[in-house]
């Protein structure tokens, strides 16, 4: 799918977000990473648009290009 709505953990890693689940949970709880969406009893994902915006915001905060 060229324009996914949800990202799974593998998608996050492919975008350079290589942090543990416990760190993700901590960042989500503190509002420093988009919150996950529960899509099954043992499955979570993240809204692609929110993750992509988060990455853009981080790049812009450090003076990166849009």
pLDDT in tens, the chain (66 residues): 467 899 999 999 999 999 999 999 999 999 999 999 999 999 999 999 999 999 999 999 988 555
**For position 65, what pLDDT does the model report?**
58
**For position 2, what pLDDT does the model report?**
66
Sorted by sequence, the CB contacts under 8 Å of residue 35 that are 6+ apart come out as 28, 46
pTM of the model: 0.85
Tally of helices (H runs) and strands (E runs) in the chain: 3, 3
**For position 63, what pLDDT does the model report?**
81
């Amino acid at each position: 799918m060229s324009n996914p709505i949800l990202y799974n953990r593998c998608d996050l890693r492919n975008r350079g977000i290589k942090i543990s689940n416990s760190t993700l949970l901590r960042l989500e709880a503190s509002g420093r990473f988009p919150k996950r969406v529960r899509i099954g009893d043992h499955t979570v994902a993240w809204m692609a648009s929110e993750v992509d915006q988060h990455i853009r915001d981080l790049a812009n905060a450090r003076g990166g290009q849009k």
